[in-house]
Structure 1
Amino acid sequence: MADVEIRGLRKTFGNTPVLRGVDLSVSSGSLVAILGPSGSGKTTLLRLLCGFERGDAGTIQINGQRVSGPGVYVPSEKRHIGYVPQEGALFPHLSVAENIVFGLPRQLRKAHHRVAELLELVGLPGDFANRSPHSLSGGQQQRVALARALAPAPALVLLDEPFSSLDAALRVETRQAVAQALSAAGATALLVTHDQSEALSMGSEVAVLWKGELVQVASPEQLYRMPVSPELARFVGDAMLLPGIVDGARVVCALGPLRLMAAMPDGPVQVLLRPEQIRLSAVEWATGKARGRVLKVDYYGHDACVHLGLSDGTGLSTTLIARVPGHLCPRPGDEVAISVEGEVLAYEVFRD
């Protein structure tokens, strides 16, 4: 059953179309990540869902109730939506407990057991209830903001890039805690983000918004492995596109013949490779493999990105990058054998 149904949603500001007929279904209890670059329409979509703006066309239905459409407009406060903004936006003069119960009806604001339940749900100790927001870390403030959003048991929780102000390590820890809390609460949620790793790690589905259109809605794995276009492949992760020729069930490129993920017509293509598909080995152990020379190494500790130049005279201009374990990375200047693990996706090249 879908808790949220968006159909044909359009919005224009002046002469600029921002949303171009968006269709999206969000199943009950799921977390869907809306992923897109700046200017893609993410914020506008969120504002229409909240009721802060009215669409020019299309309908929005939340928990079985139409809240926006021709002749229908339900105001924000009656949509039963919990909202988590970018920086938590806690009231500085209220305690943690008072912030959490702020969205509840007055008769329920003294329900201390509800505060304790919500603090436990978001992974914070019960004694945080009497603390002030300024005594909390950024990640703790975001958890309190989530507890406040969940307090009235909303039909939908909207998260507006809630981790963007946190440092890298705290961002990972906080988003794991938030995802766990939403799952434990059985909440239906939409996460708006421009961060690919955030969308892929948190969403049960990822919907990519591109120039006002949803260009692909898929599981994180499918989106990463089978993006519908080269542009989308580059957007959702590190991508290399090599020229190749399809010949039956394989594609031949500068790295040799590779197995195709899906059947396609013979002819010129662009072959999609991810850095983790590239395998490096010593040249003396490899026969019949492409060879390359290490140009530089970006070392991150747990892993490293090895930049390679092919040494077979193909004139390939695209830099080849391999992601390898940190303790196995070669040194600049080394010659290595190159192979590709698994099947590859390819995109047809259409000639004028």
Structure 2
Amino acid sequence: MSTLRISSLQKSFDGHPVLHGVDLSVKSGSLVALLGPSGSGKTTLLRVLCGFEHADAGTIEIDGRRVADAGLHLPAEQRRIGYVAQEGALFPHLSVADNIVFGLPRAQRRARHRVAELLELVGLPESYATRAPQHLSGGQQQRVALARALAPSPGLVMLDEPFSSLDAALRVETREAVARALAAAGATAVLVTHDQAEALSLGDEVAVLWSGRLLQTAAPQTLYRRPATPELAAFIGESVLLPGHIVDGRAQCVLGALPVAAGANLVDSVVDVMLRPEQIEVLPETAQREGALDALVHDITFQGQDAALTLQLVESQTTVRARVPGYRTPRRGERVRLAVGGEVSVYPR
């Protein structure tokens, strides 16, 4: 296990800046999900960390050893980093076992060093050792790729969108298996992804990269509940953003006077109020709840386990979005009542 420290990291291509002074710390034995939209610089950051690209400025330290700075670029093979590519990148002419030991010294390759142990670690039977990669499912190939990355006992494991080519059900199963394997190995890992659910479910912390800058690094629940900006709130899931103002420490908006998350030091300010659709509780028209508001169900998007509702508040005519369990989906045009649960985030306008 190793720690990773990145300080003021910069990278440009043909004079176009891609990374702008990135700072990031990854604790030993933890998994950090590096989340961002396409073009945000995620893959560039990963390639610089692995040593595939030279940094223009800044420093990279792995377990206290500096591997990159203004006058230093340690080659990839000397950084003790395991790398799992997006498509697994297994060699089709080699067996599963030979793929796993490919990067080891010759004597260990001949002895099939740790093959049975690594297959068990990633949740595959030992009998798969003799199979060809093309005879495995996509999820099984990604597990073999992880076993290959773990074979040399690296200090760090880098995963570059390893589940993006899998279908939805296989993606969930494979990422759970990979998470268990990384935890069992005690590996320190960085997962690059553009999938918010993947980042929130796998990361001990999530670092959001946006146009080459880290906007926020936090535990998944903190990032989702207390995003640093309204734009980030919209990127990390769905958000409801309403104009409001702070009165006596509460956020006053069309949904009422709502409690504000701790740490928001705004006094009598004009703000944007952010809450999540699932915080809006949809009640029957006859429900008696203090502070509940009358609304009409305007539109419904049914998604099986839940449903997204577009609702119009009767008094203000404001439209808001809510999310309810699928079995409690109301009818279009039905009159309901709305109440808000939990704290909201606020941003100065």
Deviation larger for 107-116 or 127-136: 107-116
Percent identity, please.
Answer: 62
Query: Which residue of 2 is the match for residue 277 of structure 1?
Result: 279
Contact 1:298 1:306 in 2 (8 A): yes
Q: Give the alignment's Cα RMSD to 1 decimal.
A: 1.3
Is 1:308 aligned with 2:292? no
Is 1:150 aligned with 2:150? yes
**In 1, Cα distance between the equivalents of 2:104 and 2:113?**
13
Taking structure 1 as the reference length, the TM-score comes to 0.95
**In 1, Cα distance between the equivalents of 2:333 and 2:252?**
27
Query: Which residue of 2 is the match for residue 267 of structure 1?
Result: 269
Deviations 1:79-114 (A, max 9, x none): 111000001011001111110010111110133461
Amino acid at match of 1:296: D
**In 1, Cα distance between the equivalents of 2:277 and 2:91?**
45
Cα displacement (A) at 1:267? 2.2
Deviations 1:262-307 (A, max 9, x none): 3422121111110110101112223542121112222222221122
**In 2, Cα distance between the equivalents of 1:160 and 1:212?**
17
Amino acid at match of 1:283: E
**In 2, Cα distance between the equivalents of 1:65 and 1:273?**
43
Cα displacement (A) at 1:2? 6.3
**In 1, Cα distance between the equivalents of 2:221 and 2:211?**
23
Deviation larger for 331-340 or 302-311: 302-311
Amino acid at match of 1:100: I
Query: Which residue of 1 is the match for residue 242 of structure 2?
Result: 242
Change in CA separation of 1:2 and 1:137 when aligned onto 2, cut-off 3 Å: closer
**In 2, Cα distance between the equivalents of 1:111 and 1:345?**
57
Query: Which residue of 1 is the match for residue 133 of structure 2?
Result: 133
Contact 1:35 1:208 in 2 (8 A): yes
**In 2, Cα distance between the equivalents of 1:324 and 1:168?**
22
Contact 1:254 1:290 in 2 (8 A): no
Structure 1 gap ranges (5+): none
Amino acid at match of 2:107: Q
Query: Which residue of 1 is the match for residue 298 of structure 2?
Result: 295
**In 1, Cα distance between the equivalents of 2:137 and 2:267?**
55
Query: Which residue of 2 is the match for residue 97 of structure 1?
Result: 97
| Aligned ranges 1:74-85 → 2 under 5 Å | 74-85=74-85
Deviations 1:117-155 (A, max 9, x none): 000000011111111111111100000000000000001
Structure 2 gap ranges (5+): none
**In 1, Cα distance between the equivalents of 2:337 and 2:110?**
68
| Aligned ranges 1:3-14 → 2 under 5 Å | 3-14=3-14
Aligned residue among 285, 288, 303 for 1:286 = 288
Cα displacement (A) at 1:253? 0.9
Deviations 1:189-220 (A, max 9, x none): 00011111111110101111111111111000
Deviations 1:222-268 (A, max 9, x none): 10011110000001111110111210121111111111113422121
Contact 1:244 1:252 in 2 (8 A): yes
**In 1, Cα distance between the equivalents of 2:78 and 2:16?**
30
**In 2, Cα distance between the equivalents of 1:168 and 1:311?**
39
Q: How many residues align?
A: 346
Deviations 1:47-67 (A, max 9, x none): 101111111111111122211
**In 2, Cα distance between the equivalents of 1:310 and 1:126?**
60
Amino acid at match of 2:173: E
Deviation larger for 13-22 or 261-270: 261-270
Query: Which residue of 2 is the match for residue 36 of structure 1?
Result: 36
Contact 1:2 1:25 in 2 (8 A): no
| Aligned ranges 1:141-220 → 2 under 5 Å | 141-220=141-220
Is 1:325 aligned with 2:328? no
Counterpart secondary structure, 1:157: strand
| Aligned ranges 1:17-56 → 2 under 5 Å | 17-56=17-56
**In 1, Cα distance between the equivalents of 2:73 and 2:17?**
21
Contact 1:304 1:325 in 2 (8 A): yes
Deviation larger for 24-33 or 296-305: 296-305
Cα displacement (A) at 1:310? 1.8
**In 2, Cα distance between the equivalents of 1:103 and 1:79?**
14
Counterpart secondary structure, 2:134: helix
